[in-house]
Structure formats: structure tokens, C-alpha cells
Structure 1
Amino acid sequence: MRNLGALERAVMDVLWARATPATVREVVTDLADRNPAYTTVMTVLDRLARKDFVRRERGEDGRTWRYVAAASRETFVAELMLQVLDLAGDRDAALVHFARSVAGTEADVLRDALTDDPDREPPDRR
């Protein structure tokens, strides 16, 4: 999985925050603080679709594209973490260092993930 540029990340943040697929116009509106051009956001969404970060589907009118994140934010972050782990000369040492660097509820989450049923969804820790 490739890294995202700043605007790509902002667009993905919008899509991850939405409960339903979004049109280009809706993404532009949600990015109002950045004041991006409609065509810029359209280009970014097209690029994200080609990279398989987003899926697009035709809207009810049959003309408008609607975009949705292809994977959850958590899946994206987990894949980034695995990419970084691949950079380690010694994966085991990197994992041990990481595990020892987390504390509190994060350590509990890791411990639970390693001892619980792997098919069980992790608890919502917001």
C-alpha cells in the first residue's frame, strides 16, 4: 500500500468519516477549510480509485459518481504498520520493542488480540 499525499489523506479522512458514499461536491464541501477546487478533488478521487483506495459507483441519477473508502481507516493503518515492520532488519526485535513501548489500554488490546479468538472484532476504544 502506497503512502498518501496531504490532499489524498484529507479526502480519505472525509470518506472514512461518512456513513454513506460521497459525491465530489460533498467531499469538496467537507473540505471547505482547505478550499480545494472541484476539479482538484475530482482528480484526487479518480487517482485514489485507480490506486484501489476508494471504490466508485454510479449515483441514483446514473450520471454522478459516488465514492466510498475501499477499506477502513484501521485496515489502512494496520497495512502501513506492516510495511514499516518490513523495513526492520530484525522483525522480531522491532515487534518486541513496539510491544514494550505501549502501555495501559493499548497493551491490554494487544494482549487480548494475541490470546482471544482471532475472528472476534476488537472492542471499540474511542
Structure 2
Amino acid sequence: MTHHDEHDSHGERDAHGERQPRLRRRAQGELESQVLAALHTARGPVSAAWVQERIGGDLAYTTVMTILTRLLAKDVVTRERAGRSFAWTPASDEAGLAAFRMRKVLDGESDREAVLASFVTTLTPDDEQLLRDLLGHAGAEADD
């Protein structure tokens, strides 16, 4: 009889050698979005344990801390000392969270120009004008 590895591409084997479906591993971007969404439901600064509890599932505390630290490095969250640990808050409002998600999608694509071009062609005329106005305003501020 050949030895079967516990882990294979189809899942794990139980005590009887039957394949069990592998739990889907959440992607980093998905975890970041879940952590940010949890922070946005808070009424103020919260602990990593609070975030872990809100996300639920089997997510380890250390994983939540890793995600929060990565988000801090991206300036998406802020933290302040709270005793021996930290209290975390989102750095922006719901609009900022949506913009962060849009950037994550864009960053995951290989042809940014094609994605942006496709996005712009699907905008309503009002949204297209708003985007032009915002880009013009940002360009004027850069010239100052």
C-alpha cells in the first residue's frame, strides 16, 4: 500500500482515508476588506480581539494582527496605545473604504490601462463629468 499525504490538491483525508473538502483559504485582499468592514462598524477605536470576534470563523488572532499591521503600513488604519496593546480605527470614511477596494481590484489586474478605459466607458455622462471635474481640480492643486 502506498503512503498518501494528508494534504493533496483535493483536500485532506479523514481517519478512513476518505477525502474531505478543504476549506477555502481567504485571500489577503478579502481579509483586509473584512477587517476594514469590521472597523467601520465600530463606534470608536477597538482592539484586535474585537475585530477577530466580529469577523468570526476560525481566523487566528495573530492573523488579524498581521492584517492590521499591513493596513497600518498602507495608511488605511491608525492605532493608538491602549494599555499593553493597541486600539485600531479606520483612517477614512466609507467613501475611503470603497476607494481602497477599487484600488485593490485595479492593483490585482495586469493591464491597468485597459481596466481603467473599460471603467470610464461604462460611466454615466454625469459620473464622467464628475470624474473630469475631480481630475481637473486635483491637477490644479498639484500646480499650486
Identity fraction in percent: 30
Are residues 1:114 and 2:132 paired?
A: yes
What's the secondary structure of 1:5's corresponding residue? helix
Are residues 1:68 and 2:86 paired?
A: no
Counterparts of residues 1-126 of structure 1 (less than 5 Å): 4-32=28-56, 34-59=57-82, 62-71=83-92, 72-80=96-104, 83=107, 87-88=111-112, 91=113, 95-103=116-124, 107-115=125-133, 118=137
Aligned to 1:123: none
- Match of 1:67, as an amino acid? W
- More strand by proportion, 1 or 2? 2
Structure 1 CA distance for aligned equivalents of residues 121 and 87 of structure 2: 43
- Match of 1:99, as an amino acid? V
Larger radius of gyration: 2
- Match of 1:58, as an amino acid? R
What's the secondary structure of 1:10's corresponding residue? helix
1:32-84 per-position Cα deviation (integer Å, ceiling 9, x unaligned): 2x23233332333234334443221112xx32311122342133135446647
- Match of 2:99, as an amino acid? T
Structure 1 CA distance for aligned equivalents of residues 122 and 36 of structure 2: 28
Q: Which runs of 5+ in 2 are unaligned?
A: 1-26, 139-144
Contact in 1 for aligned 2:106/2:115 (Cα 8 Å): no
Structure 1 CA distance for aligned equivalents of residues 45 and 29 of structure 2: 21
Structure 1 CA distance for aligned equivalents of residues 132 and 34 of structure 2: 32
Aligned to 1:122: none
With a CA cutoff of 8 Å and minimum separation of 6, indicate the structure with the bigger relative contact order. 1
**Cα displacement (A) at 1:31:** 1.0
Structure 1 CA distance for aligned equivalents of residues 91 and 74 of structure 2: 10
Structure 2 CA distance for aligned equivalents of residues 53 and 23 of structure 1: 16
Please tell me the root mean square deviation across aligned C-alpha atoms, in Å.
3.4
